Amino acid sequence: MGLIKECIEDKKTDINPIWIMRQAGRYLPEFRRIRKQHPDFIRLCLNKKIVPEITLQPLKRFNFDAAIIFSDILMLPYALGQEVKFTKGLGPLLGKLNFKRIKKIKKADFIEKLKPVYKSIKVVSNDKILKKKDLFGFIGAPWTVFLYMKNRKSPKEFKKNNYIFHNKNERELFRTIIDFLKIHIKEQVNNGASIIQIFDSWAGLLNNEKNKDDLLYKPTKELVKFTKRLGVPVVCFPRGIKDYKTYCKKINPDAINIDYQVDPKKILKQIHIPVQGGLDPKILFGDKYQIKKEAIKYLEIFRDHPYIFNLGHGILPKTKVESVKYLVNLVKDFK
């Protein structure tokens, strides 16, 4: 068992495990070299020879307590037959929805399309560098995946907080997403993922209670219960929400990842399960004094609460490797 799983399951407060979201990515020069040679992002995520290498790159540099498989939440739309492309400066661009084709997707075909992802997880889980460390598998939450598939691009300008399904096809698509997310979770766990994280990147767009219940709480709770039955802990990251207390009460994850816009002192008073994250990724652009000041703040606040050090969002591409090394050593040396 790795330190993160131990922190979650045993509610340990005498350890300071650390990993960071998007730790295998664009801030690492070794990753940038690979990326130049492989411009098609989806094909790169399906490259079972290179994905294990990318996944383990940050653990070869830093004393992280976990790896997270190099993949993307949009692998699900891809496996359901929707075209997914990543364009520099624009982010993900998805093709037109073909509801009839999606309805015909079979479990075996879905698994076959994502088999390279699962094989990569198996390879990483058996690597000696992961001894006494955890391996995160992950999915996008149903609402976030649905929104990408419907909007066909990043929904940054999506204003319809009071969202309703416009037709039967949309309702069926949402249900289909949930069902195939379960398959995706199970295959990751079966191949060695020791923890699952659910990323709800656009949870903050929902501010109507009826919407939250139907699109956020109920479907995510269904996936959390499913994951727990597989015997692995599940961490939820509902980015942008304001009421973490209600979220945790309704969904009951094993741990909650907070974003950098919430007050950690308020979270400490409201949340009784293990907490992960919180640090603003932009802090890593600062000098050592700024990094230390902000990192110690979180470590002190959660000193007597099970806490996994992480960021409140993914690490930014222009972050210096030296700053990450300093942060990891700082967290590890904290007493």
Domains of the chain listed by start with CATH number: 3-333 (3.20.20.210)
Quick one: DSSP state of residue 279?
A: B
Radius of gyration of the chain (CA): 19
Bridge-based pairing of strands 234-238 and 255-258 is parallel
Give me the pLDDT at residue 281, please.
98
pLDDT at 317 over 90: yes
Q: How confident is the model at residue 208 (pLDDT cuts 50, 70, 90)?
A: confident
Give me the pLDDT at residue 158, please.
63
Q: What is the pTM of this model?
A: 0.96
Give me the pLDDT at residue 155, please.
77
Give me the pLDDT at residue 77, please.
97
From residue 217, alpha-carbon distances to 20, 136, 200, 246 in Å are 25, 22, 11, 9
